């Protein structure tokens, strides 16, 4: 049977039957929210894309057995959840450096790259043209913020699935039990343990994060970019909160407080003068992003270098994760070099 490309998801081509066409029409609208669901489960944009593709393949293969007892959307979520659980068997969690259990690092010390660790990745935001769309509700900003997704990675996969289905998607315990193949009592037990674990980790879910489109967040982002582009790094002290955290996977260190963050930037950043760094802006995980392009001293071209995902609050910037995986630029629709023209 031939293959057809559908909204970036490869599915087995359907015949011309009305049922097949109806499935395609109905199923494709849930791709974005299924991507967010698989991302919460795995902490990886790349893995989530593959798992959504696998979900659609599994759905088509079993579509003739779909009896319509639930909506297509619910049915796809069940398949996606079990696809994720299968994929997560035997895999290590995806952490951020601050989640490795080690104390904050010396900003004057040596940097250590740890490519053997599968790090947490950011998720590009989707356009929010219709806030009443179910995919927008399912992908609420709080449920994909980096702090929450990083906290989810501490949970065993089955607890992770139960917590996401119950608290993010607001499914009933009986629905979750059917989806993951267990009893309602077991679901309630798994949920209780998951909540206790998250309370211990204390993920940042206090709800005071600034929306990236707000004037306050835009102002913080603009001042943050200006500090780097003009190489006036000391300006960061006015933007960062006293307990701000900086980390940059695949380096395993993390740094706390404006003084250490500024020292780190001055000591280890390849730039040394104004103009060496240029930025484009976007959003990820419901947070503002500054995409850094560093000048290549050999060519003078500003090349993709880091994606800075900021946690912007009314008190200032509380957390920066500078992702150094440059392949993410394409995933965000960003060019490989800064468009100087």
- 293 sits in which H/E element: strand 287-295
How far is it, in rounded angstroms, from Cα 186 to Cα 304? Answer: 47
Mean pLDDT of 65-86: 86
How far is it, in rounded angstroms, from Cα 258 to Cα 240? Answer: 6
Between 59 and 164, whose confidence is greater?
164
Q: For residue 332, which of 126, 70, 104 has the smallest C-alpha distance?
A: 126
CB 32 within 8 A of CB 13: no
Q: For residue 296, which of 273, 271, 274 has the smallest C-alpha distance?
A: 271
Band (pLDDT 50/70/90 cuts) for residue 175 is: very high
Q: Where in the chain is the domain with CATH 3.10.450.50?
A: 215-331
How far is it, in rounded angstroms, from Cα 118 to Cα 219? Answer: 33
The reply to whether CATH 1.20.120.80 applies to domain 1-91 is no
Evaluate if pTM is beyond 0.75: yes
Residues 6 or more apart whose CB falls under 8 angstroms from that of 204 comprise 145, 147, 148, 311, 318, 319
How far is it, in rounded angstroms, from Cα 55 to Cα 53? Answer: 5
Question: Does the structure show a pLDDT above 70 at 6?
Answer: no
Which CATH number describes the domain made up of 215-331? Answer: 3.10.450.50
Residue at token pair 């996969």: 157
Q: Mean pLDDT in the chain? A: 88
Mean pLDDT of 285-291: 96
Predicted local distance difference test score (pLDDT) of residue 133: 56
Predicted local distance difference test score (pLDDT) of residue 134: 55
Predicted local distance difference test score (pLDDT) of residue 135: 53
Q: Where in the chain is the domain with CATH 1.10.1740.10?
A: 1-91
């Amino acid at each position: 049977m031939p293959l057809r490309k559908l909204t970036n998801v490869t599915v087995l081509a359907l015949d011309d039957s009305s049922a097949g066409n109806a499935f395609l029409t109905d199923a494709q609208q849930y791709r974005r929210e299924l991507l967010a669901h698989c991302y919460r489960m795995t902490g990886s944009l790349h893995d989530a894309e593959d798992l959504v593709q696998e979900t659609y393949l599994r759905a088509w293969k079993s579509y003739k057995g779909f009896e319509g007892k639930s909506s297509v959307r619910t049915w796809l979520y069940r398949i996606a959840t079990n696809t994720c659980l299968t994929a997560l068997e035997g895999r290590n969690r995806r952490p951020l450096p601050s989640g490795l259990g080690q104390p904050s690092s010396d900003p004057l010390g040596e940097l250590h790259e740890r490519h053997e660790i599968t790090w947490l990745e950011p998720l590009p935001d989707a356009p929010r043209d219709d806030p009443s769309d179910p995919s927008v509700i399912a992908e609420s900003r709080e449920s994909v913020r980096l702090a929450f997704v990083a906290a989810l990675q501490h949970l065993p996969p089955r607890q992770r699935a139960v917590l996401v289905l119950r608290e993010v998607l607001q499914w009933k315990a009986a629905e979750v039990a059917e989806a993951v193949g267990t009893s309602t009592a077991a679901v309630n037990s798994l949920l209780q343990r998951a909540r206790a674990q998250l309370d211990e980790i204390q993920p940042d879910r206090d709800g005071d994060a600034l929306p990236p489109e707000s004037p306050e967040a835009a102002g913080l982002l603009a001042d943050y970019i200006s500090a780097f582009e003009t190489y006036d790094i000391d300006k960061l002290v006015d933007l960062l909160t006293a307990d701000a955290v900086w980390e940059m996977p695949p380096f395993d260190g993390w740094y706390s407080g404006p003084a250490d963050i500024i020292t780190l930037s001055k000591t280890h950043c390849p730039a040394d003068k104004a103009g060496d760094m240029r930025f484009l802006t976007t959003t990820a995980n419901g947070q503002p992003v500054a995409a850094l392009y560093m000048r290549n001293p050999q060519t003078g071209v500003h090349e993709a270098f880091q994606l800075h995902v900021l946690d912007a609050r009314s008190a200032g910037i509380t957390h920066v994760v500078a992702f150094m995986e440059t392949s993410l630029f394409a995933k965000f629709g960003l060019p490989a070099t800064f468009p100087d023209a």
